[in-house]
Amino acid sequence: MKSQENINYNRIADAINYLRLNFRSQPNLDEVAEKVHLSPFHFQRMFTEWAGISPKKFLQYLSVEYAKGLLKEKQATLFDASYETGLSGTGRLHDLFINIEGMTPAEYKNGAQALNINYSFTESIFGTILAASTTKGICYLAFADEADKAFADLNARYPAATYTQKTDVFQQDALLIFQKDWSKLPAIKLHLKGTNFQLKVWETLLKIPFGGLQTYGAMAQKINSPNASRAVGTAIGDNPVAFLIPCHRVIRSTGELGGYHWGLTRKTAIIGWEAAQLHKDDV
């Protein structure tokens, strides 16, 4: 006999499959809830608990991903992409791209062509760092053990941007984190591109105090998605700004460090260094 948890999981799996197959008709909450034999209220709550996002937001992600393929691979017009995705018009497509991708559909189609990015390589106590910034703030910060690969990763995020090898004030302020007391640092501006879920996870990472640690499960709890630890882990792994957004402070519930994009040895060193900085005045 199936447990209630298995029944709930199967309902959510059925709902996800239904949305994937029918997103072009833009089904509403009532329609999907009926398919899995739940009231709209209970379906909304259950889906959010299991998937980490609301059914509406999941539908939006499906729609944007499909539209991205039309715009980039088939070079569809904005009107055709809107129509083929099942949206009411180009205005709706524009709003979805701004909210989810952080850019307009036209900017996405052109590969962020209008973006000007300054970048520089700098030595830190944890190795070479590639820092990149736009006119709005830091858009990328990565440990660059291999300079060519690090720049290729940056370019893959903004494939048609214009790049200038130059250190600017955003980068200078950001790199002071390795040299000064954090409480005395100037405000560091970030210019991030991500889904609403990713941005929520990254914002929560920023609230982990210097020298502190948090588990993936606790992170999921803090964003009110207790069953979304795996999705939270994926969003943490997609963090484009090393150290400033402290994904190194998240560990497994067992006490193991877990993964780190820039290597477990470096993660261990950073955690140890922060702990030492926090207690350096202790006698």
State the catalytic residues: 247
In DSSP terms, 215 is beta-bridged to 251
With residue 140 as reference, give the H or E element that holds it.
strand 138-143
261-97-171-201 Cα dihedral, nearest 10 degrees: -50
Residue 88, number of CB atoms within 10 A of its CB? 10
d(CA 64, CA 68): 6
Q: Where are the alpha helices (DSSP H) in the chain?
A: 4-22, 29-35, 40-51, 55-72, 78-85, 90-101, 105-109, 147-157, 169-175, 196-205, 216-222, 229-237, 264-278
